[in-house]
Amino acid sequence: MGGQSRVYLGDLTLPSSCLSSARRSLFLRIGTAFFAGFFVCLAVVAQYVSSNQSCLPFSLFTALLPSHVGAPEWHEYPPAEPTNAFPSMFPSSVGSPGPTQAGAEPGVAATAPAYPLHSGVVHLVSPTRFSQDNVKDRTKDFDIFRSWGSLSPWYSVQRGKFGIDSGPEAPDTCNITGVHLLHRHGARYPGDYSNGTGPGRFALKLNRNAENVTATGPLSFLDDWTYKLVSQGLTHFGRSQLYDLGVSMRMRYGFLLKNFSETNTLPVFRTASATRVLNSAQNFALGFFGYPLEGQYQQQIMIEAKGSNNSLCPQRSCANNDDPDRGYRSQTHVNTWKAVYLKDTVPRLQQYLDGFELDVEDAYAMQELCAYESVALGYSKFCELFTEKEWEGFDYARILIKIYRYIVAWGSPFGRAEGIGYVQELVSRLTQTPIETHNSSTDATLHNAVTFPLGHSLYVDATHKTVVLSVLTALNLSSFAAMGPLPTDHIPEQRTFRTTDIGPFATNVQFQLLSCSTEHDPQIRVIINDGVAPLANLKGCQDHPDGMCSVHAFVDAQKENIRSTDWDFVCNADWTIPDGWKTTMGYPPL
Ligand SMILES: *[C@@H]1O[C@H](CO)[C@@H](O)[C@H](O)[C@H]1NC(C)=O
Ligand SMILES: *[C@@H]1O[C@H](CO)[C@@H](O)[C@H](O)[C@H]1NC(C)=O
Ligand SMILES: *[C@@H]1O[C@H](CO)[C@@H](O)[C@H](O)[C@H]1NC(C)=O
Ligand SMILES: *[C@@H]1O[C@H](CO)[C@@H](O)[C@H](O)[C@H]1NC(C)=O
Ligand SMILES: *[C@@H]1O[C@H](CO)[C@@H](O)[C@H](O)[C@H]1NC(C)=O
Ligand SMILES: *[C@@H]1O[C@H](CO)[C@@H](O)[C@H](O)[C@H]1NC(C)=O
Ligand SMILES: *[C@@H]1O[C@H](CO)[C@@H](O)[C@H](O)[C@H]1NC(C)=O
């Protein structure tokens, strides 16, 4: 965003004969400030426009968008064959490191009276203003970074958010003996630049129409806007999220590594193979262990491909999941809601855009662009186009509708089955007993003492949002199921939490194991983004002020969930979804 972005022709009208070349010269030749642009404009216009027309002040002009608007702008780094690369002249080890001695392992979760809160948005810039309608009814605690649903960066949810007034720090009478962490990848780029849906579609549509479009007022930034988002990978900010999560977990639970030193073993962390997930796992490890990683842990990469069982990417081996007739990926409900909450948005934005007919999908894509550009580029002009209420609507659209209306987790007929593989593995780890029958998404070939070790005090698994939410579904945590099904014509007043609280980028679930002087048996807690989740509805678990349940009872309840979740039926049987059918249990109609 240097000088070039100042050279917009915001309100300049030129006769069409001179337009494109005048415009092109301007954009080719001017790279400096607004004033330079203005004077060159005078020159160029004088050159092209018949002599009796003068270069009027900018505000009286409008101009069509330059042809590069909306075009993809990608930058390859590193260069393929740098001319100055001489690795041998830059040895990675030169000796003379000076004396160092590692300190004791930290353990904030065990030693501090509170836990460090994560605000999650370092590196990101908030919009300085919002759409006008917003000003008077802005609520004090509105935070745009927490209004993007699954595109929000993770943050520590407010204490008590899920109904348990306790934090991740160990209760006074307890010691932490183990942690199983399941986390989502960090901020990623959107899907392809294509005619399909979302930001890529909007950019392409704008680009194709550029020669006939004028953008003014709050949309005049489009004059210089290109599509800078590549597809699918982890963003730089996403990388920092996972690095930070790794550091944070080392600070909280570093003392668990003593167990590995004592038993002369290394932790085994697992990840799905998609680039954004793999890169997330690697950055988590860098944060957790520090560079270099060699000799500190072992990373297992589980293949995401058709035909491969993978508990961290179960949908690939679930045949019915690809069948469009079973309601999966149905966008109907999401689209109904989009049309409701963006009803006034489309005409409002349309005022500033001539020659381009905005539809609901475009407005929604512009909201997505705010989120995606922010987490990829640090800042987005799209953010200020929308009101607080529209951000509420976006957050609601983002997953609640998807979650509770057929797409994933509680509202999907596949949710429970797709989470059950990880639950089987969790039970296997908690009981130190190998899985008997691989009858869901688990991969028998990886379940051996080396790649699936039992008896460790620390496990870390990296995966996708869908999987994290499906695991929560399979665990039968009913307070989340109780949210749905949700209306598609308004946001219900009684909402205990937002999408953003459970499914953001780098969302993480800590299964925390405790030994307590007040409890006879070992205990477990489920902590989602630092919010303790209630387990009381599970058979054998009680209401507990810190959300604990005995590992024994928890395991028994999970074994029952495993018995009643039939992967083969869900993924291979010929069931159908009746019209109007809804679920909050993540299971097909029986
Ligand atoms: C979009 O669709 C048009 C026409 O169908 C096609 O020519 C173009 O290649 C497509 N562009 C992309 C990026 O998919
Ligand atoms: C722009 O408008 C002109 C004149 O109406 C039309 O011929 C041309 O097809 C339009 N271009 C695009 C990309 O829609
Ligand atoms: C993969 O999953 C299927 C279905 O649960 C199971 O029958 C098969 O044995 C599994 N294969 C491996 C290698 O684990
Ligand atoms: C290491 O942790 C595991 C799992 O919590 C536990 O069973 C084992 O006793 C611990 N070993 C040592 C030496 O502390
Ligand atoms: C917690 O650990 C400390 C130090 O190892 C030990 O003295 C104490 O008894 C433990 N408390 C519980 C409740 O297990
Ligand atoms: C699952 O949750 C439901 C609803 O709270 C409860 O009735 C049921 O007993 C739970 N199942 C198990 C195995 O805990
Ligand atoms: C799958 O295997 C587990 C044991 O690993 C068993 O408890 C469960 O009943 C099996 N599921 C089905 C649907 O057979």
CA distance 288 to 58: 55
| pLDDT for 193 | 87
| Domain membership flag for residue 215 | yes
Is residue 468 in a domain?
yes
Of all atoms in ligand 3, which is nearest to the CA of residue 443? 14
Please name the helix (run of DSSP H) or strand (run of DSSP E) that holds residue 459, with its range, or none. strand 458-463
DSSP single-letter state for residue 294: T
How many whole angstroms separate alpha carbon 33 and alpha carbon 494? 51
Q: Of 141, 155, 143, 149, give the one whose Cα is nearest residue 395.
A: 149
Same domain, 307 and 423: yes
111 located within any domain: no
Instruction: Mark which of 64, 81, 102 sits at the end of a domain.
Output: 64
334 found inside a domain: yes
Asked if the bond preceding 78 is cis, omega within 30° of 0, the reply is yes
From the CA of 303, the nearest ligand is: 3
Tokens at 249, concatenated: 């977990």
Q: At a CB cut-off of 8 Å and minimum separation 6, what does 28 contact?
A: none
Q: Helix or strand or coil: residue 335?
A: helix
Q: Look at residue 361 in the predicted model and tell me its pLDDT.
A: 95
**What does each of the 590 residues of the chain score in pLDDT, given as a tens digit?**
332 322 222 222 222 222 233 333 333 323 333 333 344 344 444 444 333 333 444 444 578 999 999 999 988 889 999 999 999 999 998 999 998 888 999 999 898 888 889 988 899 998 877 765 545 556 667 899 999 999 999 999 999 999 999 999 999 999 999 999 999 999 999 988 887 889 999 999 999 999 999 999 999 999 999 999 978 899 999 999 999 999 999 999 999 999 999 999 999 999 999 999 999 999 999 999 999 999 999 999 999 998 899 999 999 899 998 877 775 556 777 888 999 999 999 999 999 999 999 999 999 999 999 999 999 999 999 999 999 999 999 999 987 777 776 677 888 899 999 999 999 999 999 999 999 999 999 999 999 999 999 999 999 999 999 999 999 999 999 888 877 788 889 998 877 778 899 999 999 999 999 999 999 999 999 999 999 999 999 999 999 999 999 999 999 999 999 999 999 999 999 998 887 788 888 999 88
Q: What is the pLDDT of residue 352?
A: 96
3 state SS for 134-152: HCCCCCCCCCHHHCCHHHC
The residue contributing the CA closest to ligand 6 atom 10 is: 538
Residues 522 and 537 in one domain: yes
Secondary structure (3-state) at 477: coil
Note the pLDDT of residue 327. Answer: 52
DSSP letters, 485-519, are: S--SSS--S--S--HHHHSSBT-EEEEEEEEETT-
State which of 175, 520, 521 you would mutate to test the pocket of ligand 5, scoring each by most atoms of that ligand within 8 A of its C-beta: 175
| Residue found by looking up tokens 């400030």 in the block | 33
E strands of 173-277, at which residues?
174-184, 214-215, 268-272
Residue 99 lies in a domain: no
Residue type, 518: T
Whether residue 450 is found in the same domain as residue 567? yes
Give the model's pLDDT for residue 377: 97
Q: Are 341 and 477 members of one domain? A: no
Closest-lying ligand 3 atom to the alpha carbon of residue 445: 13
What's the pLDDT score for residue 61?
57
CB neighbour burial string for 436-474, b if at least 16 within 10 angstroms, e if fewer: eebebbbbeebbeeeebbeebbbbbbbbbbbbbbbbbbb
C-alpha–C-alpha distance, residues 297 and 267, integer Å:
5
Q: Does any ligand 5 atom lie closer than 6 A to the CB of residue 435?
A: no
Residue 12: give the domain boundaries: 6-64
Q: Residue 131: what pLDDT? A: 67
Does residue 94 lie within any of the structural domains?
A: no
pTM for the model:
0.88
Instruction: Say yes or no: 469 and 568 in one domain.
Output: yes
Task: Answer yes or no: do 202 and 351 share one domain.
Answer: yes
> Considering just the CA atoms, what is the radius of gyration of the chain in Å?
27
| Pairwise CA distance, residues 579 & 145, whole Å | 37
Last residue of a domain, one of 402, 428, 443: 402
Please check whether residue 37 is in contact with residue 58, taking contact to mean a CB–CB distance below 8 angstroms: no
Cβ(519) – ligand 6 distance below 6 Å: no
Which secondary structure element, helix H or strand E, spans residue 528, and what is its range? strand 523-528
Question: So what's the pLDDT on residue 485?
Answer: 80
Residues with CB under 6 A from ligand 3: 309, 317, 438-440, 443-445, 567
Same structural domain for residues 563 and 477?
yes
What local confidence, expressed as pLDDT, does residue 391 receive?
93
Residues 530 and 551 in one domain: yes
pLDDT, position 35:
39
Q: Say if ligand 5 is within 6 A of residue 515 CB.
A: yes
Please report whether residue 72 resides in a domain: no
Q: Is residue 546 within 6 Å of ligand 7 at its C-beta?
A: no
Tokens 């730089």 sit on residue:
236
Per residue, the 3-state secondary structure of 349-367, as one string, reads: HHCCEECCCCCHHHHHHHH
| Number of domain units in the chain | 3
Q: Could you tell me if residue 85 is inside a domain?
A: no
How would DSSP label each residue in 376-407?
HHS--GGGGGS-HHHHHHHHIIIIIIHHHTTS
Q: What angle do CA 387, 393, 397 make, to 5 degrees?
A: 145
CATH number, domain with residue 451? 3.40.50.1240
> What are the pLDDT digits (tens) for 121-158?
899 998 877 765 545 556 667 899 999 999 999 999 99
**How buried is 212 (Cβ within 10 angstroms: 0-12 exposed, 13-18 middle, 19+ buried)?**
exposed
C-alpha 499/C-alpha 37 separation (Å) is 45
**Which amino acid makes up residue 554?**
F
> 526 and 395 share a domain?
no
* Furthest CA-CA distance within the chain: 94
| Residue located nearest, by CA, to atom 3 of ligand 1 | 195
Q: Are residues 543 and 465 in the same domain?
A: yes
What does the DSSP assignment read for 247-290? HHHHHHHGGGGHHHHHHT---EEEEESSHHHHHHHHHHHHHHH-
What is d(CA 144, CA 387) in angstroms, rounded to the nearest whole number?
10
Mutate to test the pocket of ligand 6, among 535, 538, 556, 561 (most ligand atoms within 8 A of CB): 538
* pLDDT tens-digit map of 211-232: 999 999 999 999 999 999 978 8
Residues 35 and 179 in one domain: no
What is the model's pLDDT at position 330? Answer: 64
Q: For residue 445, which ligand has an atom nearest its CA?
A: 3
Last residue of a domain, one of 64, 81, 104: 64
Question: pLDDT at position 31, please?
Answer: 33
Residues 466 and 524 in one domain: yes
**What is the distance between the alpha carbons of residues 112 and 120, in angstroms, rounded to a whole number?**
21
pLDDT of 464: 96
